[in-house]
Structure 1
Amino acid sequence: MTLTTPGLLFPAISLLLLAYTNRFLVLAQLIRELNAREGESIRPLVRAQIDNLRKRIKLIRFMQVWGVVAFLLCTFSMFALFIDIALTGIILFGASLCCLILSLFTSLYEIHISCDAIEIELQNIEKKPTA
C-alpha cells in the first residue's frame, strides 16, 4: 500500500464532513425558527417535531464524530506509511474505513428519521379542511 491509497479518502471525508455540518446548521436554524414561532405554548405537532429534531441532532453529532475519527485515522495511516511502518499504516487505514462506514450507516438512519419528520408535516396538512 502506498501513501496515495489513504490519500484518496481525504476529499471524500472532507466532503462528507461538510455535508454533515450543513445538515446540522439547517436543523439548528429550524429549531431556532420553531422556538421563535411557537412562543409560550407548544402545539402537539411541534412536540412530535421536537422529539424528531432531538434524535436527528444526536445522530448528526455521531456522524460527525465518526467522520472526524476516520479522517484522523486516515491521516495517521498516511504518516505511518510515510515513515515506513507499513503494517501499522494498513491497520490504521482499515480502522479509518470502519469508522467511515459507521458514519455512513448513521447518515442513512438520520435520513430515514428526516423522512419521518416530513411525514409528520404531511399528516398535519391532511388534517386541514379542504377549500
Structure 2
Amino acid sequence: MMSAVVVAARAWIGTPYLHQASCKGAGADCLGLLRGVWREVVGAEPEAVPAYSPDWSEPARREDLAAAAGRWLSAESAMAPGVVLLFRMREAAVAKHMGILSVAGDAPKFVHAYSGHGVVESPLSLPWERRVVGLFRFPGH
C-alpha cells in the first residue's frame, strides 16, 4: 500500500513554482509543498510561516528550516517512502530545500518544488543524495 504522504505529494506534481506559495495547482515552493501535504495528511498547520526571501536565512547563517523541521516533524533514520528530505544545496550553506521521498531502493525518487521546474518527481541521484542532511516523518506517518 502506498504511503498517504506520497499520494498527497504526487497530487501536487505539475503545480508551478511560486516563491512562498502553498496552493496545489496554482503555485508552491518546496516549503509550500510540505505545508500543503501537512494540511492533507495531518491537519491545520502548527505555526504561521513568516515571510522569507529566496536566500532564506543564509545572510544570518541561521538554520531556520532545519529548526522548524525539528519542531514539527519526527527525526527518521531510514530512507522510506513518505520521508521528508532536508537538503543543504551547497557545502557549508544553511539547509534550505525539502522534498518527500516517493520511491526508496535502487532507483529512489522524490517529489519537490524546484525553481524553474515547479513540483516534479525527480530521481534521487547521487548529486541530490549527497546534499541530504536530515530525514523526518510527518506526525503519525
Band the TM-score falls in, shorter-chain normalisation:
under 0.3
Q: TM-score, normalised by structure 1?
A: 0.22
Whose helix fraction is larger, Structure 1's or Structure 2's?
Answer: 1
Larger CA Rg, structure 1 vs 2? 1
Whose strand fraction is larger, Structure 1's or Structure 2's?
Answer: 2
